[in-house]
């Protein structure tokens, strides 16, 4: 059985010019629970909104789950940029540590552009949980939005 869910993270990126709003919405998916347990990797696809760095940009990447160390590593690429972050889950503070994602934004050459903290908005908890079961269609809506953005970008570049 496939593993799939939609996650939203929102917060702020800080660079030399100041702080900037940041958000990504991604669908995470893997072939099945056995695969996740074996290699810990889920594919990510979604949309990033982090002005002035990217505005509604299609994004792809991966999430690596290291259950033994209680780490979740995120790696997203979009518009020639890379967003990397990781959650370190502490059992005594599960809610606080599962909802905080410290991130760093890099340019194509690997130079740091900005850093910040993104948080899982608790208002998205219900759709997040329902997305595991395919209820409410958040995965289909995100897929359609991402495909539309990619088409508009291709049309604009032609």
Does the global pTM surpass 0.85? no
Chain Cα centroid distance, residue 128: 13
For residue 61, the number of C-alpha atoms closer than 13 Å in the C-beta half-sphere is 24
Tell me which of 49 and 156 has the higher pLDDT: 49
Q: Residue 110: pLDDT above 90? A: yes
Tokens read off for 11: 């917060």
Q: Residue 102: pLDDT above 60? A: yes
Q: Which domain holds residue 142?
A: 3-157
Question: Which CATH number characterizes residue 125's domain?
Answer: 2.40.128
What 3-state DSSP class applies to 53?
Answer: coil
Compute the Cα dihedral for 105, 116, 19, 25 and give only its sign.
positive
Tell me which of 145 and 122 has the higher pLDDT: 122
Q: Which residues of 73-82 are buried (b: 16+ CB within 10 A; e: fewer)?
A: ebebbbeebb
Q: Residue 114: pLDDT above 80? A: yes
**Binning pLDDT at 50, 70 and 90, where does residue 144 land?**
low
Q: Which tens digit of pLDDT belongs to each residue from 22-65?
A: 999 998 888 877 877 788 899 999 999 999 999 999 999 999 98
Tell me which of 127 and 76 has the higher pLDDT: 76
The CA R_g of the chain, rounded to the nearest whole Å, is: 16
Q: Which of 10, 79, 13, 83 is nearest to 44 (CA)?
A: 83
pLDDT at residue 9, as a whole number: 94
Q: Which residues of 8-23 are buried (b: 16+ CB within 10 A; e: fewer)?
A: bbbbbbeeeeeebebe
pLDDT at residue 47, as a whole number: 94
Please give the tally of structural domains in the chain: 1
Could you give the residue ranges of the DSSP H alpha helices within the chain? 33-39, 94-98, 125-131, 138-157
Q: Residue 5: pLDDT above 90? A: no
**Binning pLDDT at 50, 70 and 90, where does residue 132 land?**
low
pLDDT at residue 158, as a whole number: 42
């Amino acid at each position: 059985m496939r593993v799939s869910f939609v996650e939203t993270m929102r917060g702020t990126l800080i660079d030399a010019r100041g702080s900037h709003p940041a958000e990504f919405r991604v669908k995470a998916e893997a072939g099945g629970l056995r695969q996740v347990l074996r290699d810990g990797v889920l594919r990510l696809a979604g949309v990033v909104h982090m002005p002035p760095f990217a505005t509604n940009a299609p994004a792809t990447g991966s999430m690596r789950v290291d259950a033994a160390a209680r780490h979740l590593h995120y790696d997203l690429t979009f518009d020639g940029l890379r967003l990397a972050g990781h959650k370190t889950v502490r059992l005594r503070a599960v809610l606080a540590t599962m909802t905080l994602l410290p991130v760093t934004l890099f340019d194509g050459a690997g130079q740091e552009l900005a850093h910040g903290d993104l948080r899982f908005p608790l208002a998205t908890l219900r759709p997040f949980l329902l997305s595991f079961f395919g209820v409410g269609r958040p995965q289909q809506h995100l897929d359609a939005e991402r495909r539309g953005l990619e088409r508009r970008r291709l049309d604009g570049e032609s």
